Chain A
Amino acid sequence: MTLVKEVRPGRTEPEAVAVPARGRRAWAAAAALRWTALRLLALVVLLAAWQAVVAADVWPRVLVPSPADVWHAFVQASTVHDGVRGYSGHLLGEHLAVSLRRIGVGTGYAALVGVPLGLLIGVLKPLAVVLEPAVTFLRTLPPLAYLSLLVIWFGIDESPKIWLLVIAALPPIAAATAAAVRGVPGDLVEAARALGAGPVSLLLTVRLPAALPEILTGVRIAVGVAYTSVVAAETVNGVPGIGGMIRDAQRYNQTDVVIAGIIAIGISGIVLDALFKGAERLAVPWRGRA
């Protein structure tokens, strides 16, 4: 995605100077179409390679199902068929919605705690000395390592899953916030101080807005981290939930359902990330300008 974006301006600019506005727009549309076509082509090649591997019988069909099998599993999991609702009693969309809700709640709590924590770490040196190693410690822990502990402490229902996602999503937010606050230009701070701003109003009216773009990036990264952790969170009593569904399918060697679930996670992740980028553009339009 980033690659495409970086390439585009370099190629459009020289011609864009010469052609009138209308022609430029048409050119941009054509370029967008071309890039979309390239993506579709890549997808077709991937599917063809997959089908070829299946047709060549390199691995048993049970281990590597064909694209059609996965599509069938996808349809079965998304519909009510002979009295069974989707997979494990819930539709694929419902599994995904429950997982997304957990990700949302977990990242939400993480942001509520992580942003103030990051602000304090960025501003108060003594606090940074104490807390920064702790944040790094948390960040390097794999979620599966502390899941069993969370189950012992918080049981098997919603709370251990939310806790796991909070612990996973908190460090990126806190780290990004702290770095952003430190990166606020000294001129801005000096100017505000000269105009008589106290430490609190300096933090809230100068440092926080200046750091906001970076904080939002931190939250976006945290959502990604929560996304990768949700399957771990749902290994214990995870149904409904997309991770629980994948685990159930794995238990019964239903590889097609596993792959359908993974694809559902990946696609919803792309959509969510794009939405987040759009929201970022709307919320902090000053981003990238001096």
Chain B
Amino acid sequence: MPARTRRTLLLASATALVALTATACGDGADAASGGGKTQVRIAYQSIPNADLVVKNQKLLEKALPDADVKWVKFDSGADVNTAVIAGSVDLGLAGSSPVTKGLSAPLNIPYKVLWIHDLIGENEALVAQKGITSVKALKGKKIATPFGSTSHYSLLAALDEAGLKESDVTLVDLQPQDALAAWQRGDIDAAYVWTPTLSELAAKGGKVLVTSRQIAEQGKPTADLGVVTDAFAAKHPKIVDAWLEAENQAVELAKSDPAKAAESIGAELNLSPEDARKQLDQLVLLTAEQQQGADYLGKPGAPGALAKNLRDAAVFLKAQKAVDAVPDRSVFEKSLAVKELSRVVK
């Protein structure tokens, strides 16, 4: 008898386990769950822009009391792309290089650019060890940068501008924190990275040779973009509008009361409000109205210059063998969510 009870128990627990696994699997694939509430899954990154204000002040949650908003942290745009392909993210933040990669073959991710979170300014820069005073002087030197990132793109643009080929220097694929370690030991001569590593390198005697703001002025801008999957945008236009309004509200707050915005950003990044303020100031934030300008997302019927910038990035990625082919400019123009943007700008 006891043996039989044990067997029954075992069978019951096995059945329970199978049922549990089945529900767990089903959960990932289904976006709309959680007791009838619509789930909004947002991929964010630790970048000191207004997206963190939205998250910290729960602006979206307040605007959408009927939705189940989930924030998921990512370390790179490549990971965000993977998550979108896997269907686990609806809205996300990724740099212009990963977004270009996502919009090109072989990925061809069905998503569009809804928002410009920030234009990368002084928060990404090329720093060199003492004694190196120009980009040209980097010939034959070792430079670290995280491959596939916006910094990588800007670095190659800077080298090109200085008349150097990629083969004239030794490029090392390092994440910012590893670049810092290598720098301290003198293993690398220069690094193109972002804050806070960038500030630490500068504090350790590094000289800033060129910033992403200057690269942008030379016609190769980089940005952090907000993307939304086509399916989600078609199915939940109201949520998309609410998201845009929340982001716009946060940008306006960052412009009118930067101290308050910096406080929220600092809370998210474990930084003091002063440090957060400093990092926030290095970025260029744009309101929804500004983003409708011809230089950026543009308006319906007149897509902005962002499409051209993304196509330039695709040319760069093609040279890196990271995409199969460079799509037409029209592909990128269609990927700008100008219709959605025009809905929220009154």
Contact = CB atoms under 8 A, between A and B. Distances in A.
B173 interface: yes
A59 B178 CA distance: 34
B173 A62 contact: no
A248 B173 CA distance: 9
A252 B322 contact: yes
B185 interface: yes
B215 to A, nearest CB: 21
Contact of B81 (A151, A156, A239, A253): A253
Interface range for B: 20 to 34
A51 interface: no
A252 B78 contact: yes
B26 to A, nearest CB: 14
B182 A151 contact: yes
B86 A156 contact: no
A236 B174 contact: yes
Contacts of A157: 187
B163 to A, nearest CB: 22
A258 to B, nearest CB: 11
Contacts of A60: 85-86
Interface of A: 59-60, 62-63, 84, 148, 151-152, 155-157, 236-237, 239, 244, 248, 250-253
Interface string B25-54: 000000000000000000000000000000
Contacts of B321: 84
A61 B144 CA distance: 32
Interface string B168-193: 00001111011001101101100000
Contacts of B185: 155
* Most chain A C-beta atoms within 10 Å of own C-beta, residue among B172, B173, B182, B184: B173
Nearest to A157: B187
Nearest to B106: A62
B101 A155 contact: no
Given A63-B85, A252-B101, A148 B177 contact: yes
Contacts of B327: none
B174 A253 contact: no
